[in-house]
Amino acid sequence: MTAAQVIRSEWTKIRSVASTVWTLSLAVVVTIALSMLISALSRSQFDDMSAQDRLSFDPTYVSFAGMTLGQLAMIVFGVLVVSNEYSTSMIRVSLAAVPRRGTFLFSKIAVAAGLALVVGLVTSFVAFFLGQAMLGSHRAQLGDPGVLRAVVGGGLYMTLIAVFSMGVAAMLRSPMLSLGILMPFFFLISGILGSVDATKKIGRYLPDQAGSRIMQVVPQVDDDTPYGPWGGLGIMVLWALAAVIGGYILLKKRDA
């Protein structure tokens, strides 16, 4: 099969599996709904904030509060795209049809990443505009310095979360094992490492903490992070590349 045929095949697989479609839909709904809720609560509590909190108040970043749960759906999407074929034993059929394993894996990731990018960008823009509407007089404008970068960055962040998850799933092959590692990593371990003084300098280089910098416009008071928004996204890209390369190496070495 040619690369174009493999890409069409992977597109057919993704859109024909109900779980992947529902997972992406959930990412959109959860992210937007929670972002609107947090933005509305932030507006109601703004007058009670301390002077320091007001100085570091970032209306753009507040409208992305739903990304915390939205990335959960993106992780599930990334894992299912890769590991579904292993759990159903269809991987043998796929590799028999596409013996060039690099073409098989990278076509799958390219199609899924393209879909995640479209969904991520739409979600990010909608979450921003609706979140700013909830913030009322405290809102930011898309033309304000750094805001457009942050909104586009929100879509890139969600895409990279999915790509990283696909790489991990390619290495582990099992959906349960992949989710069992990724969920605690992003929702427990990363948060602990990032909040404890002894490990904070390590935590800031984890993919979610580094990547989320792209969505921030107003710097936090006393923030000593040694990289900026694009530097943080670059660190996240390196994590995603490492996961994908690891998945490719193991796919080539192991039997289906």
**129-170 pLDDT, tens per residue?**
999 999 988 889 999 999 999 999 999 999 999 999 999 999
Number of structural domains found in the chain? 1
In degrees and rounded to multiples of 5, residue 127 shows phi and psi of -60, -40
pLDDT at 1 over 70: no
Mean pLDDT of the region 107-121: 94
- Which residue has better confidence, 175 or 19? 175
Q: Range with the lowest mean pLDDT among 27-36, 46-55, 67-76, 118-127?
A: 46-55
4-10 CB contacts, 8 Å cutoff, 24+ apart: 6/98, 6/103, 6/104, 6/107, 7/107, 7/110, 7/111, 9/97, 9/98, 9/107, 10/107, 10/108, 10/110, 10/111, 10/112
Provide the pLDDT confidence category of residue 127 given band limits of 50, 70 and 90. Answer: very high
pLDDT at 39 over 80: yes
Given this model, what pLDDT does residue 96 score?
73
Given this model, what pLDDT does residue 187 score?
86
Q: Residue 160 is part of which domain span?
A: 3-253
3-class DSSP state of 187: helix
Provide the pLDDT confidence category of residue 235 given band limits of 50, 70 and 90. Answer: very high
* Amino acid in position 173: R
pLDDT at 124 over 70: yes
pTM here is: 0.92
pLDDT at 128 over 70: yes
Q: Most confidently modeled of 5-14, 50-59, 217-226, 246-255? A: 246-255
pLDDT at 256 over 70: no
Q: Where are the alpha helices (DSSP H) in the chain?
A: 3-16, 18-45, 51-55, 59-62, 67-87, 91-97, 101-135, 147-172, 175-184, 190-195, 200-203, 207-211, 229-253
Distance CA 212, CA 154 (A): 8
Given this model, what pLDDT does residue 16 score?
77
Distance CA 75, CA 83 (A): 12
Given this model, what pLDDT does residue 88 score?
74
- Contact by Cβ (8 Å): 248, 101: yes
